[in-house]
Structure 1
Amino acid sequence: MANPTRWETDTGPEHSQWYIDRFRKLVAEGADLAGEARLVDALVAPGSRILDAGSGTGRVGAALAERGHTVVGVDADPALVEAARADYPGPTWLVADLAELDLPALGEAEPFDAAVLAGNVLAFVAVGTEPEVLRRVAAHLRPDGVLTVGFGTERGYPLTAFDADAVAAGLRVEQRFATWDLRPWRDDAPFAVSVLRRPSD
């Protein structure tokens, strides 16, 4: 990786294991962790090919796979990818930096119908790489493919910058919501869920 991610620089060495343990505990308690997956599933045809970008412990990608989609998950943290492979066999889980994403080089040459960046992924990529992350993810979508992105609006990446970076990446902003369960967007919302599309023309 050219630059360390904020996941590395802004957290301690024990953070990855804490994160893994946290979500395993939530699963054991029966928590609903599939909200993002339900939205993505509603945006695509059955049996779609979906990229879980910044897949973490695999909860979103696993829920999409359970709904019949072919899922490739990518995360820069090897510990999280190892946990995803252990807990959710089925999807393909790969270690890669989203700012350098080149899935054909990793044996995944087929484009994706959709991609999702959940869990504040853009708040944890390396500083200043947000435009390149969006460009790289967009490049893996087929024409008319959809990208759904969620992140906190107070995490240092203004929505105006995000929108401009999305357009520069060849994406069109189609919808914005305040939550993954589609509550209406408002300018003071602490979280934004944006639905973007790679135009086919």
Structure 2
Amino acid sequence: MLDAGAGMGRVAAALVQREHDVVAIEPDGALVEQARETYPGLPIEERNILDLSPDDGPFDLVVCVGNVIVYLAEGTERTALAAMRDVLGERGRILVGFHLQDPPPHARVYTAAEFEADVASVGLRVDLRAGSYELHPANDTYGVWILSRAGG
């Protein structure tokens, strides 16, 4: 599993605790250091999603949650989605979640329609859309998607 935009490592650490094989990447050096201090031994690298290459995979699951996608520089979303697609294994999935309204400070508003258009444009498909990680019905406040390769 790849935790793309791991922040301080909470999600990656929870996955490791459940005995999953995880690699975490985070571009903010201070957050990487915090993750290493909070979760000693956590496999986290100071890297940007945009720097992923197919050689970094394959992963069965790429996790990109906690508003990571709306913190990307506007206009790089398709590049990030394509990079995550390129590290997927044959039957891999991408889990993405972010605020659709009232994003956190310094994040942008990214509508569900914009996101889904970007998903389709890079050869991914929506397998599931929900309104929470507990799979509540889709809504206009928060979006959670499970994506896979189109045609896969």
Same fold (TM over 0.5): yes
Q: Identify the range of structure 1 (154-163 vs 60-69) with the bigger mean alpha-carbon deviation.
A: 154-163
| Higher share of residues assigned helix | 1
Unaligned runs of 5+ in 2: 102-107
Report matched runs for 1:1-201 at 5 Å. Answer: 50-102=1-53, 104=55, 109-154=56-101, 155-186=108-139, 189-199=140-150, 201=152
Flag as ranges the 4+ runs of structure 1 deviating above 4 A: none
1:97 maps to amino acid:
N
Count of equivalent residues: 146
**1:159-199 deviations in whole A, cap 9, x for unaligned?**
1121111122221101111111111113xx31000111125
* Aligned 8 A contact 2:35 2:42 in 1: no
* Aligned 8 A contact 2:54 2:86 in 1: no
**1:78-123 deviations in whole A, cap 9, x for unaligned?**
110111112113331011121232374xxxx441000111110011
Identity over aligned pairs, percent? 40
2:70 maps to amino acid:
A
2:113 maps to amino acid:
T
Separation in 2, partners of 1:75, 1:99: 11
Unaligned runs of 5+ in 1: 1-49
* RMSD, aligned CA: 1.6
| Higher share of residues assigned strand | 2
Separation in 1, partners of 2:36, 2:149: 30
Matched residue of 1:56: which SS?
coil
Q: Partner residue of 2:105?
A: none
* Aligned 8 A contact 2:126 2:146 in 1: yes
Matched residue of 1:193: which SS?
strand
Matched residue of 1:57: which SS?
coil
* Aligned 8 A contact 2:119 2:125 in 1: yes
Separation in 1, partners of 2:45, 2:53: 11
Separation in 1, partners of 2:54, 2:23: 10
Separation in 2, partners of 1:174, 1:93: 28
Structure number with larger C-alpha Rg = 1
